[in-house]
Structure 1
Amino acid sequence: MTELNELLPDALLERFRDRAKGYDERNEFFHEDLAELKARGYLGMFASEDDGGLGFGLEQAARAQRRLATAAPATALAVNMHLVWTGVAHLLHERGDDSLQYVLAEAVAGEVFAFGNSEAGNDSVLFDSNTEARPLPCGAYSFTGTKIFTSLSPAWTRLGIFGKDTTGEAPELVHAFITRETPGYTIKDDWNTLGMRASQSNTTVLDGVVAPAERVFRKLPVGPNADPLIFAIFACFETLLAAVYTGIGERALQIGVDTVQLRRSKKTGKAYSQDPDIRWRIADAAIAMDGLYPQLDAVARDIDALANHGAQWFPQMVGLKIRATETARTVVDLMIRVSGGGSYFAGNELGRLYRDVLAGIFHPSDDESAHGTVANAWLGPVED
């Protein structure tokens, strides 16, 4: 099996880190990074080695994404969306469902999958949709609606979407894929954000775009349900998201350590690494990160091992996401405080991480819904 330092060697990460600054300044997609990752088979990591992939499970994929994020967070975040779909196909296969095996085969062949499910104002996430899914003859569906935060917008060749079909006795949520060549969608040029700029997560408007019957892969009832697809999406999305933000915190800590060892106090003549207040903050950040690494590994490992956590699975996954994004945000803030005013200038890596890490606030599950999920698991639902 491929080792991470072979898949993502230090020299490659330095190239990515150098490019990240320019991508951010120009608000530009990471075309060069993506080409290098594709050439290394990175996009096919979840496919078996016999099928031309890397044979990774979720634990190893999360470690790879954590390592990639130490160099280029926006690249890693956008690639996450591709890996969510290929990871879903892998997790379903491991649980006896081969309905998305074509996703793995096409990823190995070079296709790029994107996640087109997010909708403005839809706090039900996967359990309802504002998008209309209208049935057509022969099992096809047309979709009309607006999807936000569609990462990989300049590069995807396959887009996973879902919408609600209200034509039957009970509404159904219809999941499908379209291709880049499919008519009936528009990608807006509206990604001009504070951070994660290279992800180019533009808005996608669906205007009667048609998914053929063979690419309609799930029809589910509205509301929470136990379908393995829902588990697989949450498992991959939350775990890989946590991996990216863990990588951001890891990199910020290293920058802070390097910086305080180089900066010297005019007053004492000593390196700032000798200042007791700075040492406390570095230690505080390191302690916080040390609690995150094993949690990320443990959750991903249990998903790979088909562990049965029952009703505690979703609390574990959303808890990991919240801890990773909040810990990374705290650590970056601490490192800004110990690194001095230079980090406030445009182009400074730590300043960019400060902007990138804020995106963690907005990813599902947000703080409110995560706490609701955990409270329901421990206390039961709120009484009417």
Structure 2
Amino acid sequence: MFPELTDRQHRIVALAEELSSRFADRADRYDREGGFPFANLADLRDSGYLRLVVPQRYGGEGADLFEMTLAQERLARGCGATAMAVDMTIHLIGRLAETPSWTEPMVAMICRAVVEEGALINSAATEADLGSPSRGGAPATRAVPSEGGWRISGRKLFVSMAPALRWFLVSATLPPDAETPQGSIGSFLVEAGSPGIRLEDSWSDSLSLRSSASYDLALDDVFVPAERLVERTPIGAPPRPGAPTQMAWFALTLSAVYLGIGQAACDTVCAYARERTPTALGRPIATLPNIQHRIGVMQTALSAARSVLHQTARAWVARPAERSAMTAQIAMAKYLCTNAACDATDQALRIAGGFALTRALPLERYFRDARAGLTHPPNDDAALELIGKHALGM
């Protein structure tokens, strides 16, 4: 399907496809249970998938952004919840590999633990009152100075993979000091199991991605050593130089996940249409022009979104000097991929009719899971505004 890929890229895709096949066999059970798919995580560790994105100097393979979009789309066709959850580690490591904003010892510690132990990390940034961190604002979570470090108290939402994480990257507001009279926002590397940490399952009966374990994280006077304050930004300061890198790795790898969910829905309903032969019709419904039309609309949108996604990720890798000007293109890829996935899963339900509403087919799960893509930044309104400004030369 991708004749233009290198041998290395074909190998990465093949690994993702093999894992995807295993995950697909378990996806319905995990979705029903709403727990975390520990068997999938074990496969990711044992297969070397988690090592792909880690820089070679730490024992990984140094996969670039384009290679990880290829892998993540294929992985999501088997289990969207697992692919979305592991993406939280992937995009963070990818961002640090390209734009190191932490001290070398902290980056090395995280990367080597991923390679040697299959350790996982995720940001804990979203709060109920704050909304999406991408919209700005200071978190209600507070960090206060303590001897040898900081003490953090607050509550975070949507912390995917929570039961399996080694570290939580927690954002918190720091008090004003001489250098930051308005206060600052810090990112703290908080180790799982630290005294004062509590996980609460607020997710397993959610609409989408039920087995991603996107729990709440409560922190009650959690001590964090001083060196674990890995990033600090004054309140009101302009975006960090690495902000475009963070946006690219987050938006494009997650776009690939939701594109994979949409493609899985299209593939599944095509197989269904070839087999479904109502007695009144006497032949498969795949022979009907209206079914062919609907599937044509689905595949066209998915293929167009994939083309933009691949073009954008390839350009990011090939032209690093132009990355700061690629935000509109990144937003376009995210908008197209997530909306193509939502539209495809909706069309799949219409084609399969009543059977699509039951667990006999995975189409209702794809439909639910695809909706989560609309919630990741940039949201549709922000993406379209950014694209419009770029077209207007503003």
- TM-score, normalised on structure 2? 0.89
Matching residue's letter, 1:346? R
- Deviation string, structure 1 residues 318-342 (Cα, Å, up to 9, x no partner): 2222211111000111111112321
Cα distance in 2 for residues equivalent to 1:313 and 1:221: 26
Give the share of equivalent positions with the same residue, in percent: 27
Q: What displacement does 1:185 show?
A: 2.0
* Contact preservation (8 Å) 2:102, 2:231: no
* Contact preservation (8 Å) 2:50, 2:114: yes
Q: Which runs of 5+ in 1 are unaligned?
A: none
Which of 187, 201, 225 pairs up with 2:199? 187
For residue 299 of structure 1, give the secondary structure of its aligned residue in structure 2: helix
When residues 350 and 223 of structure 1 are mapped into structure 2, their CA distance, relative to the original with a 3 A threshold, is farther
- What are the equivalent positions in structure 2 for 1:232-311 lying under 5 Å apart? 232-309=245-322
Q: What's 2:111 paired with?
A: 104
Q: What's 1:130 paired with?
A: 139
Matching residue's letter, 1:209? V
Q: What displacement does 1:238 show?
A: 0.6
Name the stretch that deviates more: 170-179 or 128-137. Answer: 128-137
Matching residue's letter, 2:361? N
Q: What's 2:63 paired with?
A: 56
* Contact preservation (8 Å) 1:196, 1:356: yes
- Deviation string, structure 1 residues 39-72 (Cα, Å, up to 9, x no partner): 1122221123453212211111111110000000
When residues 372 and 97 of structure 1 are mapped into structure 2, their CA distance, relative to the original with a 3 A threshold, is farther
1:118 matched to 2:115? The reply is no
For residue 271 of structure 2, give the secondary structure of its aligned residue in structure 1: helix
Cα distance in 2 for residues equivalent to 1:188 and 1:311: 38
Cα distance in 1 for residues equivalent to 2:168 and 2:38: 18
* Contact preservation (8 Å) 2:54, 2:115: yes
* Contact preservation (8 Å) 1:134, 1:167: no
* Contact preservation (8 Å) 2:316, 2:323: no
Cα distance in 2 for residues equivalent to 1:129 and 1:292: 34
Which of 136, 155, 164 pairs up with 2:164? 155
When residues 293 and 200 of structure 1 are mapped into structure 2, their CA distance, relative to the original with a 3 A threshold, is same
Cα distance in 2 for residues equivalent to 1:316 and 1:90: 22
1:199 matched to 2:212? The reply is yes
For residue 217 of structure 2, give the secondary structure of its aligned residue in structure 1: strand
Q: What's 1:36 paired with?
A: 43
Q: What displacement does 1:213 show?
A: 1.9
When residues 222 and 375 of structure 1 are mapped into structure 2, their CA distance, relative to the original with a 3 A threshold, is farther
- What are the equivalent positions in structure 2 for 1:365-384 lying under 5 Å apart? 365-379=378-392
Cα distance in 2 for residues equivalent to 1:345 and 1:61: 33
- Deviation string, structure 1 residues 74-113 (Cα, Å, up to 9, x no partner): 01011111112211221215x9985734332221122211
- TM-score, normalised on structure 1? 0.91
Cα distance in 1 for residues equivalent to 2:184 and 2:360: 48
Q: What displacement does 1:175 show?
A: 1.2
How many pairs align?
379
Q: CA RMSD in A?
A: 2.4
For residue 163 of structure 2, give the secondary structure of its aligned residue in structure 1: coil
* Contact preservation (8 Å) 1:133, 1:174: no
Cα distance in 2 for residues equivalent to 1:117 and 1:229: 17
Name the stretch that deviates more: 317-326 or 264-273. Answer: 264-273
Cα distance in 1 for residues equivalent to 2:130 and 2:393: 24
Q: What's 2:152 paired with?
A: 143
* Contact preservation (8 Å) 1:128, 1:164: no
- Deviation string, structure 1 residues 340-359 (Cα, Å, up to 9, x no partner): 32111135211111111111
- Deviation string, structure 1 residues 192-231 (Cα, Å, up to 9, x no partner): 2122011010011122223222221111133473423422
Which of 4, 23, 35 pairs up with 2:12? 4
- Deviation string, structure 1 residues 90-146 (Cα, Å, up to 9, x no partner): 1215x9985734332221122211221122232461433323443425673332222
1:315 matched to 2:322? The reply is no
Cα distance in 2 for residues equivalent to 1:251 and 1:331: 9
1:213 matched to 2:221? The reply is no
Matching residue's letter, 1:153? A
When residues 138 and 109 of structure 1 are mapped into structure 2, their CA distance, relative to the original with a 3 A threshold, is farther
